[in-house]
Amino acid sequence: ETVVNRIAAGEVIQRPFNAVKELLENSIDAGSTLVQIIARDGGNKLLQIIDNGCGIRFDDMPIVCERFTTSKLAAFTDLRSLNTHGFRGEALASISHVAHVSIVSKTAEAECAYRGEYFEGKLKAPVKYVPGNQGTTITAEDLFFNVPIRRRTLKSATEEFKKIVEVVSLYSLHYPRVGMSVRKAGSDGLTALKTPADSTVAANIRLMVGAEAADALIHVNHEDKRLEFSLDAFVTGPSFAGRKTQLVLFINHRLVESARLRRAMESAFTEALPRGAQPFAYVSLQIAPHNVDVNVHPTKHEVFFLHQDAIADAIQSRIVAALAAGRQ
Ligand code: ADP
Ligand code: MG
C-alpha cells in the first residue's frame, strides 16, 4: 500500500515546482497576504513556505496530511460552485509520501503555535506546542529521497529553482494583492523574486517582464452571458517587442494550458500586431464551473471546457479589437 501511495504521489508531485504550486495555492486559499518561499538545492533538499493565512486548527493537525483531507468541500454539490483551488485533499498527502514534512501553524484563536511532523500521510509523533505567529509554515525536506526514479529525472538545482521562481511569478500576476517572495536558503540566500503586498497586475508585469512591457499594456475586459464566461486580460500592444511570445493563462484561478486558447491568442496577435511581434499576455478566464472539466488529473495542466471553439473565437475577436484600438 505504501508503495502504491508513493507511486501515486510521484505522479502528482513530479518536480519541486509542482509542490510549490500546490502549497502556494493552499496559502492563497487560506487568505494570506504574504507568502515567502525558501528553497535549498532547487527545492530538492528543502522547500519551505511561510504564510500569514488563517492557519490550520489544532484539532486538524493529525489529519491534514491524510489523503482526501480537505476543508474546502462540504458536499459533493460544492464541486459546482468551487472557488478555492483545492478540493481533492491530495497535495499535502502526496508531498508527505515523497518527503519529510513538518507543519507549524497557528490560527487567530489559538494562544500558541503547534508543530507536527509527518511521513506517509501520518503524524510521526504527537503535535507539540512551539512559538510562532498566526499562519502556516510548511517544510518539505529531501524531496523524492524514497523515489529514485524521480530523483534521476530531476534537472539541475539551478533549473529547478528557476522553475519555482517562474511559477511563483506567474501566480503573482494573478494574485497581485498577495506579496510573494522566493529565495535560496541560507544567510546569504539570494532573493530571486519579491512582490509587495497590495501590488497590481501591471506593477508585477513590470517586475517580471520589464518596464517596456508594462508601459505597452492594453487591458481587455469582457463578459459573455450567453457563453457564460468572463475575460480579464493584459496584453502588450504594438509598441512592445519581446524576445519571445509569452502567454500566461489562468482558468478559474488555476494556472493551466489550453492548446485551443493558445491558438486563438496567437491568431489574434498575427492579425492585430506588426509582423514578428513577440507580445506578452496574461489572460484570466472565468468559465461557469459546470462547463469545465474539474476532474482532470492534477498534473494534466491542459484544461477542457464546453463551448471551447465559440469561447476561443469570441476571445480572439475581443483581443484583435482591443489591440487594433490600441487601448481599452
Ligand atoms: P486541498 O487544498 O485540496 O483541500 P491539500 O492537501 O492541499 O488539499 O490541503 C489539505 C487541507 O489542509 C486544506 O483543505 C486546508 O484545510 C489545510 N491547509 C493546507 N495548507 C494550508 C495553509 N497554508 N493554511 C491553512 N490551511 C491549510
Ligand atoms: Mg490544496
Q: Is residue 9 part of a domain?
A: yes
Q: Is the complex ipTM higher than 0.95?
A: yes
Ligand 1 centroid–CA 70 distance in Å is 6
Give 46-83 pLDDT, tens digit per residue: 999 999 999 999 999 999 998 877 777 554 444 444 44
pLDDT class of 224 with cuts at 50, 70, 90: very high
Do 136 and 270 belong to one domain?
A: no
Is there a single domain that holds both residue 139 and residue 282?
Answer: no
Q: Report CA(84)–ligand 2 centroid distance (Å).
A: 9
Over its C-alpha atoms, the chain yields an Rg (Å, rounded) of 21
More confident residue, 219 or 9: 219
pLDDT at 327: 47
Cα of 108 from ligand 2 centre, angstroms? 21
| Pairwise CA distance, residues 159 & 46, whole Å | 15
Which amino acids bring their CB within 6 angstroms of ligand 1?
22, 26-27, 30, 51, 53-56, 64, 69-72, 86-93, 136
- Domain boundary pick from 130, 160, 194: 194
Domain end position, chosen among 194, 226, 248: 194
Q: Any idea what the CATH number is for the domain that residue 293 is in?
A: 3.30.230.10
What is the structure's pLDDT at 82? 45
Answer yes or no: do 23 and 50 share one domain. Answer: yes
Q: How many domains, in total, are found in the chain?
A: 2
* pLDDT recorded at residue 83: 47
Q: Give pLDDT, residue 85.
A: 56
Using the CB atoms, write b or e for 12-35: b if 16+ within 10 Å: bbbbbbbbbbbbbbbbbbbebbbb
For residue 73, what are the domain limits? 2-194
Residues 259 and 313 in one domain: yes
The per-residue pLDDT of the chain, averaged, comes to: 89
Q: Which three cell numbers stand for residue 82?
A: 468551487
Residues 29, 172 share a domain? yes
Does residue 175 share a domain with residue 283? no
Q: Which residues pair with 60 in a beta bridge?
A: none
**Phi/psi class of residue 266: alpha, beta or left (left: φ > 0; alpha: ψ in -120 to 50)?**
alpha
For residues 301, 178, 176, 36, the Cα torsion angle rounded to the nearest 10 degrees is -70
- Please indicate, yes or no, whether residues 173 and 263 belong to a single structural domain of this protein: no
Residue 81 pLDDT: 43
Bridge-based pairing state of the strands 34-40 and 179-184: parallel
Residues around ion ligand 2, judged by CB within 5 A, are 26, 86, 91
Distances (CA, A) of 301 to 24, 98, 298: 16, 21, 7
Model confidence at 90: pLDDT above 90: no
- Give the pLDDT band (50/70/90) at residue 191: very high
Residue pLDDT, tens place only, 150-165: 888 888 999 999 999 9
How far apart CA 224 and CA 158 sit, in angstroms, is 43
Contact 93, 69 (CB under 8 A): yes
Atom of ligand 1 nearest to the CA of 22: 7
Q: How far is the CA of 298 from the centre of ligand 2 (A)?
A: 11
Q: What is the pLDDT of residue 21?
A: 93
Residues 122 and 25 in one domain: yes
pLDDT at 221 over 70: yes
Q: How far apart are the first and last CA of the chain?
A: 56
pLDDT digits (tens, 9 = 90+) for 27-49: 999 999 999 999 999 999 999 99
**Is pLDDT of 283 > 80?**
yes
- Please tell me the predicted confidence (pLDDT) of residue 305: 85
Residues 124 and 18 in one domain: yes
CA distance 42 to 158: 6
Ligand 1, atom 4, lies closest to the CA of 70
Distance CA 245, CA 281 (A): 8
Instruction: Calculate mean pLDDT across residues 128-156.
Output: 92
Do residues 186 and 66 both lie within one domain? yes
Task: State residue 310's pLDDT score.
Answer: 96
Q: What is the pLDDT of residue 71?
A: 77
105-125 pLDDT, tens digit per residue, is: 999 999 999 999 999 999 999
Categorize the per-residue pLDDT at 186 as very low, low, confident or very high, splitting at 50, 70 and 90. Answer: confident
Give the least confident one: 42-51, 248-257, 290-299.
Answer: 290-299
Instruction: Check if the beta carbon of residue 186 is closer than 8 Å to that of residue 64.
Output: no
Residue 183 to residues 154, 188, 192, 248, 324, Cα–Cα distance (Å): 20, 10, 6, 23, 40
Report the percent of the chain where pLDDT is more than 90: 72
pLDDT at residue number 116: 98
Domain end marker among 145, 160, 194: 194
Clarify whether residues 12 and 149 are in a common domain: yes
126 CA distance to ligand 2 middle (Å): 23
State mean pLDDT over 175-187: 95
